[in-house]
Structures are given as structure tokens and as C-alpha cells.
């Protein structure tokens, strides 16, 4: 589609989402998708799904935002044959593959999407047949020109081998972190709680690891986090909390308990920050890791030890789960890669 048509279509989608959330328009297909998703995935509560859709509408699907995003790239060549971009969607947060699909369309590709069994209802409503997006339940028989995937390390290894030789961006397990000074106000801690706990802390942008000054008083943070979880996590959160508390108590590990969220010490009460590598650890649903620092040098040591697994260092609390179109996962410009493929192909044909 023409670029202006693309911008008009998806800015309209953003407006439709906003009005539906406000309750000023009816959207029966979306209502049904939310109900079905909540029934199949306990972590996709209706409130969480609406928050994810709201983030898309406010962060990506605004005309001015789309224009600023795309003005940095040439318009894709038109042709009778559209290249195919395979997209393997994860199912950790609602509609998490939306950005990849939007990117493929912006680059002039035809998206071929393998849906996650945990999130198979929202995306087909957001991308109906007239958008040219095709949804599948497997990657069997795929003939593609590029690949975008997300998921865990095992899945990354599988798709890297399965589509060897195909231009690809394959993302695996990452985490985001926040650094506290100890002087944060109540409003900041409330915003940080959303950064940590929205979507049950299952997203790579969730602040599942926090660095706090030595001797940090957790009282106000655990109160803010506990309040968020109590209001929005419901029974799935309570189930996770009971299990986490029992397992950590039996293991003799050090942790703080908000009553709904576990804050777990990952330095074993004194491990050097430069040796504190996060990957390979089991982050339970319903817990947040923490480490105490004594100096700015400790902070830098931690970052350097984990730099290839850090998705985002969150400094503006409350913004982590509202990415803009150019806030690329893993810092890799997927639209630039797809545009390069398009132009290389065009030049070859000429």
C-alpha cells in the first residue's frame, strides 16, 4: 500500500482502539477476542489486554508518530511480487507481535505470522484480511524472504537453524532494569510498580530487576507494588505468590514480601556486582529481582556483566510499557533491515 494510505489506515486503527476503550464505539470482534483470550490464558485478564491495546494506540498508532517514524526511510518499491516476512509471535503479553507486523507492512512485505497458542485472537482482529496479513498455526512449508522472531533461548536456536541463510532478526531472553536512588517519591514508586508488574512482569520491557542503594528501605516500594498487584493480578497472582513464598522459604533464600509480590535478592547478600550475571536464573512469575549497590562503580559493573541481556534501563518511570515505533527490541532496526532487502532485490532485478 502507499505510505500515506498506510499512515491513514493505522492512525485510524489507533483512534478506533482509543474510542473502544473509552466506550464511545462498539467493536464486537474485539470484545469477543478479549473474552476468548482471557478464557484461554489466565494472565491475559481483560484489564491487561486493554492496557496493551491502549499502549499501541497511544505509543504507535498516532498520525504524527507514524509520520516521524517513516520519514527516515525511503518508500518501498512497488511491484507485483511482494516479498514475504515470516513472523513468529510470542505469547507472553497481549498482541506482542503487533510491532513486527506493522514494521513488515511498512517495508512493503507480506507478513506471514505464526500465532502463539497463548495469544491467537487479538492480532487477527487488529489485522483483518484486507491488510494482507496471513496467520498460521505453524511454520511448516514456509517460503519466506526474511524472518522476525521473539521468544526464549531454545526457540531462538530452533528458528536460527530452521531458517539458516534467510535474513533474520531472532530475539531471545532479555530483561529490563531500573536503578533507584532511594529518594523516589510515592508517585515515582507507583509508576515504577507498573513498569515492574504490568502483564505479570512477563515482558522483556518489564523492570524485573532493580538496583537499590545499600540499606534501602523497601517499605514504600513493597507497599506500592503490593497495591498494584492486589488490584490487577487477581487469583493468578495470588497463586504465584503462595508458591513463590513457599519455595524461597524452603530454599533459605533472602527476599522481601509485599504480600503479593516477592522481591528476591540475587547477590546472595554480598556477591560482587561484577559477578552477578542474571541469565540462567529462574525468574518466577510474581517476583522481582533486586541487588544492593554501594557506589556508581557497582552499578556499572552490574551493567557490564549483563549488557548483552539487558533490553532496557528504565530511567523515566511509568514509560517502559509504552514503546514508540522506533524503540526497537534488542536495539535492532527491523524496518531498516527489511528495507535493505527490498532495495537489494529491486536493484538485482533491474
146: pLDDT strictly greater than 50: yes
pLDDT of residue 350: 36
Cα separation, 101 vs 112, in Å, equals 9
pLDDT of residue 178: 97
pLDDT of residue 272: 85
348: pLDDT strictly greater than 50: no
pLDDT digit string, tens, across residues 11-51: 999 999 999 999 999 999 999 999 999 999 999 999 999 99
pLDDT digit string, tens, across residues 150-205: 877 778 888 888 899 999 999 888 899 999 999 999 999 999 999 999 999 999 99
pLDDT of residue 79: 61
pLDDT of residue 343: 77
CA-based R_g, the chain, Å: 21
| Domain spans, the chain | 3-172+324-349, 175-314
Helix (H) or strand (E) holding 85: strand 84-88
274: pLDDT strictly greater than 50: yes
Q: What is the mean pLDDT of the chain?
A: 91
If pLDDT is split at 50, 70 and 90, which confidence band does 295 have?
A: very high
Residues 293, 210 contacting (CB under 8 angstroms):
no
54: pLDDT strictly greater than 90: yes
Average pLDDT over residues 290-313: 93
Q: What backbone torsions phi and psi does residue 32 show, to the nearest 5 degrees?
A: -65, -40
The closest of 265, 266, 263, 254 to 224, measured between CA atoms, is 263
pTM: 0.93
Long-range contacts of 26-35 (CB under 8 A, 24+ apart): 29/125, 30/122, 30/125, 32/121, 33/121, 33/122, 33/124, 33/125, 34/121, 34/122
Please state, in angstroms and as integers, the Cα–Cα distance from residue 65 to each residue in 45, 50, 59, following that order. Answer: 28, 21, 8
pLDDT digit string, tens, across residues 219-270: 999 999 999 999 999 888 999 999 999 998 998 888 888 889 999 988 865 6
Average pLDDT over residues 291-309: 93
pLDDT digit string, tens, across residues 73-105: 998 877 656 899 999 999 999 999 999 999 999
Look up residue 208 and give its DSSP letter.
Answer: E
Residues 171, 331 contacting (CB under 8 angstroms):
no
Q: Which residues pair with 290 in a beta bridge?
A: 210, 265
346: pLDDT strictly greater than 70: no
Angle at 311 between CA 185 and CA 326, to 5 degrees: 95
Q: What backbone torsions phi and psi does residue 38 show, to the nearest 5 degrees?
A: -65, -35
pLDDT of residue 345: 58
Three-class DSSP category at 134 = strand
The closest of 262, 186, 252, 176 to 221, measured between CA atoms, is 186
Secondary-structure class of domain 175-314 per CATH? alpha beta
306: pLDDT strictly greater than 80: yes
- CATH number for the region 3-172+324-349 comes to 3.40.605.10
Average pLDDT over residues 202-218: 94
pLDDT of residue 95: 97
Residue 258 CB neighbours (<10 A): 22
300: pLDDT strictly greater than 90: yes
Cα separation, 350 vs 1, in Å, equals 22
Amino acid at each position: 500500500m502507499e505510505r500515506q494510505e498506510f499512515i491513514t489506515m493505522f492512525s485510524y486503527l489507533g483512534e478506533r482502539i482509543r474510542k473502544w476503550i473509552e466506550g464511545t464505539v462498539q467493536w464486537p470482534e474485539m470484545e469477543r477476542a478479549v473474552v476468548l483470550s482471557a478464557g484461554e490464558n489466565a494472565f491475559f485478564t481483560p484489564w491487561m489486554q486493554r492496557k496493551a491495546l491502549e499502549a499501541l494506540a497511544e505509543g504507535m498508532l498516532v498520525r504524527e508518530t507514524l509520520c516521524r517514524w517513516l520519514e527516515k526511510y525511503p518508500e518501498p518499491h512497488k511491484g507485483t511480487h511482494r516479498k514475504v516476512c515470516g513472523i513468529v509471535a510470542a505469547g507472553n503479553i497481549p498482541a506482542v507481535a503487533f510491532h513486527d507486523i506493522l514494521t513488515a507492512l511498512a517495508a512493503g512485505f507480506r507478513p506471514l505470522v505464526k500465532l502463539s497458542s497463548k495469544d491467537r485472537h487479538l492480532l487477527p482482529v487488529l489485522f483483518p484480511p484486507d491488510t494482507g496479513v496471513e496467520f498460521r498455526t505453524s511454520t511448516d512449508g514456509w517460503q519466506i524472504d526474511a524472518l522476525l522472531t521473539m521468544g526464549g533461548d531454545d526457540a531462538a536456536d530452533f528458528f536460527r537453524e530452521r531458517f539458516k541463510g534467510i535474513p533474520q532478526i531472532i530475539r531471545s531472553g532479555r530483561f529490563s532494569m531500573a536503578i533507584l536512588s532511594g529518594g523516589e517519591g510515592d508517585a515515582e514508586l507507583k509508576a515504577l510498580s507498573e513498569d515492574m508488574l504490568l502483564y505479570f512482569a512477563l515482558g522483556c520491557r518489564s523492570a524485573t530487576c532493580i538496583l537499590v542503594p545499600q540499606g534501602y528501605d523497601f517499605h514504600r516500594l513493597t507497599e506500592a507494588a503490593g497495591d498494584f498487584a492486589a488490584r490487577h493480578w487477581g487469583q493468578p497472582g495470588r497463586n504465584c505468590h503462595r508458591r513463590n513464598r513457599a519455595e524461597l522459604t524452603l530454599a533459605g533464600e533472602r527476599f522481601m514480601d509485599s504480600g503479593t509480590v516477592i522481591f528476591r535478592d540475587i547477590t546472595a547478600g554480598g556477591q560482587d556486582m561484577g559477578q552477578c550475571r542474571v541469565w540462567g536464573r529462574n525468574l518466577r512469575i510474581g517476583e522481582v529481582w533486586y541487588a544492593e549497590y554501594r557506589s556508581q562503580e557497582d552499578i556499572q559493573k552490574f551493567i557490564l556483566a549483563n549488557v548483552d541481556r539487558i533490553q532496557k534501563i528504565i530511567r523515566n518511570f511509568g514509560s517502559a510499557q509504552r514503546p514508540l515505533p522506533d524503540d526497537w527490541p534488542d536495539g535492532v532496526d527491523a524496518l531498516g533491515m527489511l528495507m535493505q532487502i527490498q532495495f537489494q532485490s529491486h536493484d538485482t532485478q533491474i
